[in-house]
Amino acid sequence: MDTRAYALAVNLPRPFRLARAADVPALLDLVAAFYAGEGYPFDRPAARAAVTELLDDPGRGWVWVVERGARPIGYVVVTLAYSLEYRGRTAFVDEIYLLPAERGRGLGSKALALVERAATATGIRAIHLEVERANAKAGALYRRRGFDDRGRLLLTKLLPARGDASGTTRRGPGGRKSPSRSRGGRGRRA
């Protein structure tokens, strides 16, 4: 993590804080709740490996915990990439989730503002996210925060997990096929 990103991380506004290894069990519970609510498959060991890998390499992205008091009530995952089209680094809001009882209090908007601030501070040129078509409430939030439909489709080809030569698939998010060891799907609940 570069110095600017670290400075931003240690000065996160409440109720957000940088996730650490000790948060993995609570994060997995939140991820499981998110995926269950969306009807996505959830593989706890695979999710644990993915979260741990991201926490171990901040150059890949950021994981923030959202808390009420000392209790985790949500999380934000941002992954980093590079784009010729956008002439530099880009960020992808991979997942943003708040427990249902915590929604409608402005935390989703604050989370997106934090993503934008962190991205700007670290020289990121564009922020991407995806939303389930049926999730009109989250889509409206994202549009209010300045995200727009650029007239493109996000197409995805899921590949077998490392070490899985079988390439077998099963139904994943939204009824789509996914590798048998996929870590789950996408969607947003803010």
Instruction: For residue range 93-116, list pLDDT tens digits in order.
Output: 999 999 999 999 999 999 999 999
Query: Do residues 130 and 189 lie in contact, with contact meaning Cβ atoms separated by under 8 Å?
Result: no
**How far apart are the C-alpha atoms of 183 and 49, rounded to whole Å?**
9
In a domain, 47, yes or no: yes
How many domains does the chain fold into?
A: 1
19 alpha-carbon distance from chain centroid: 13
Checking if the pLDDT of 179 tops 70, the result is no
3-state SS class at 11: coil
pLDDT category, 175, cuts 50, 70, 90? very low
Checking if the pLDDT of 50 tops 70, the result is yes
In a domain, 189, yes or no: no
Question: Hey, what are 137's tokens?
Answer: 């409430």
Average of pLDDT values for 133-159?
87
Return the pLDDT at 17. Answer: 93
Return the pLDDT at 151. Answer: 84
Write down the H helix ranges in 57-183.
107-121, 136-144
Checking if the pLDDT of 4 tops 60, the result is no
In a domain, 185, yes or no: no
Checking if the pLDDT of 153 tops 90, the result is no
Domain CATH code at residue 36: 3.40.630.30
For residues 136 and 184, the model is more confident at: 136
Lowest mean pLDDT among 36-40, 89-93, 154-158: 154-158
In a domain, 40, yes or no: yes
In a domain, 173, yes or no: yes
pLDDT category, 75, cuts 50, 70, 90? very high
pTM, whole model, 2 decimals? 0.80
Checking if the pLDDT of 77 tops 90, the result is yes
What is the residue range of 140's domain?
Answer: 3-179
Question: Hey, what are 162's tokens?
Answer: 């490392």
In a domain, 61, yes or no: yes
Write down the H helix ranges in 11-106.
24-38, 44-56
Average of pLDDT values for 48-59?
94
Return the pLDDT at 141. Answer: 87
In a domain, 190, yes or no: no
**How far apart are the C-alpha atoms of 138 and 114, rounded to whole Å?**
17
In a domain, 187, yes or no: no
